[in-house]
Chains A and B, each alone.
Chain A
Amino acid sequence: MEETLVDIDFKEKEEYIINMGPQHPSTHGVLRFETCLQGEKVKYIIPHCGYIHRGIEKMSESLTYPQLLHLTDRMDYLSAHINNEAVALCVENAMEVEVSDRVKYIRTILAELSRIASHQLWWSAFGMDLGALTTFFYGLRDREKILDIFEETTGSRLIQSFITPGGLMADIHPNFQRRVKEFITYFRKKLPEYDQLLTGNVIFRERTMGIGYMSKEDAIDFAVTGPSGRGSGFQCDVRKIAPYSAYPFVQFNEITYTEGDTYHRYLVRMKEMWESLNILEQLVDNIPQGEIMLNLKAIKAPKGEYYQRVETARGELGVYIVSDGAPSPARIKYRSPNFSNLFIINKISANHKIADLVAISGSLDLVIPDIDR
């Protein structure tokens, strides 16, 4: 049947644009999705960022390395230890010094604890995005145990600035090892509860299976890393590709799935929590003795360019330092995982319902301050 002018006009009018954010709860921060809808169906999404751009890279150019370290906590605040570690490793590589095994072990334990804490918070919020409020109580209850361990050793709960170039701010608290071991036994009992509550839930599976398919080629092309990339079969775990700190000493599996939908991105993170517990178990009893801080006269990188990759809870964090030999960098670039993970959303949520968009953006696990820096 031939379309009349009225029909075409009506169809064009059917499309409308709605802004999700910057204060929408499902964006988990100040991010705006300019969403073009046709009925309930998403036609395309334009992400608008910059609402929380603080110019961390510009600020860092006038700070010394131990000072600029404190800004890195404020990027991906759920992986604060890992961000600190990235800068510390980059500066140590530049200065050609190596920290003791004790420091390496403690850094890795703290990093894996943050990874679990981050995944717990993601799991809580993801359930809540899909309308399951109970997950939030379960997740935060268990995350509290990790934050208590952090508080006892580092003095703060969310942004610690504990790992510095040359070692650690302080030695671990005498209770540290006991508490970590208690947490491992405790959380091994609690993780199956997570599966009972959400993973096996029929409504949850209906909402996530087959939604937001991302192919392996797309993941690589858009540089989507971390659990989101591994859910599509992209083997991008920096802990395996370029091992750092104590990762060469431990046995663990890189979790990958080839399905690439929201459900499998979810599964990668659930399995990663088990792997992190295994890593913790291998390390916590074997922390060797050693110096916790190298005796460095001045912390400055020699003239040159340095790059360090680490695996945060959300993907690959890169720190690129250009130095003139001064106490502060001439240029510091943070290749943040969330920035690259964000822009795939237009491709994977096209032609899905708007309710699925919430599930998809939840499964990418975005932390907005890390996008904007």
Chain B
Amino acid sequence: MTREELTAFVLEQVPDMKAGTNKQFPECIVNAEQINPLAKALKENAITKMDYLFCETAADRKDGFHMVYHLTSSVHKHNLMLKVILTDKVNPSIPTVSDVWHAAEFYEREIFDLFGIRFENHPNLKRIFLEDDWIGYPLRKDYKDDFILER
């Protein structure tokens, strides 16, 4: 499917989706509660067949946490980028997509560990790299600890 067709497909599923400005991949910005049904639709529909989530990550930006999903199809080879902006910077939370793509279970544990974003209905949400009693979430911009070097 082309860029336009993919964006049109997402628009059909989520009428209030906003198109992003990314030049490389078609980018769709959706709301947090829409991500899980949209993910299921993108994976299960034969014309999109987005079965391979090759990257899921977050970024701490001024307007909130950006959750970014990079998807591709192993059959049709087309790519898509989904974005969710979480405006709550203290207790951000978003439904999991680990029931759609298994790979997401571990990406989400990493995001939880480093950003402190909670994934609702995640089967095993705990820290993956840091110790369980670690205080704070290091990849947040406001993170401070006693050993951090100021540059």
Contacts and interface: CB of A to CB of B under 8 A. Distances in A.
B106 A318 contact: no
Interface string A148-176: 00000000000000000000000000000
B61 A320 contact: no
B52 interface: yes
Contact of A57 (B66, B74, B139): B139
Query: Interface residues of A toward B: which range?
Result: 35 or more
Contact of A316 (B54, B59, B61, B128): B54
A220 B151 contact: no
Chain A, interface SS category: mixed
A235 B72 CA distance: 12
Contacts, number: 80
B103 A320 contact: no
Contacts of A25: none
Interface string B16-60: 000001111100000000000000000000000001111101011
A223 B139 contact: no
A221 B99 CA distance: 10
Interface in A12-26: none
Interface string A15-53: 000000000000000000000000000000000011001
A335 interface: yes
Contact of B57 (A221, A320, A340): A320
A221 B51 contact: yes
B139 A372 contact: no
Contacts of A236: 52, 74
A74 to B, nearest CB: 15
Interface in B95-151: 101-103, 105-106, 110, 114, 127-131, 138-139, 151
B138 A55 contact: yes
Nearest to A93: B24
A191 interface: no
8 contacts: A58-B139, A62-B151, A221-B101, A222-B102, A235-B74, A322-B59, A333-B59, A335-B54
Given A223-B53, A335-B54, 7 more contacts: A50-B130, A57-B114, A218-B102, A221-B103, A222-B102, A236-B74, A322-B61
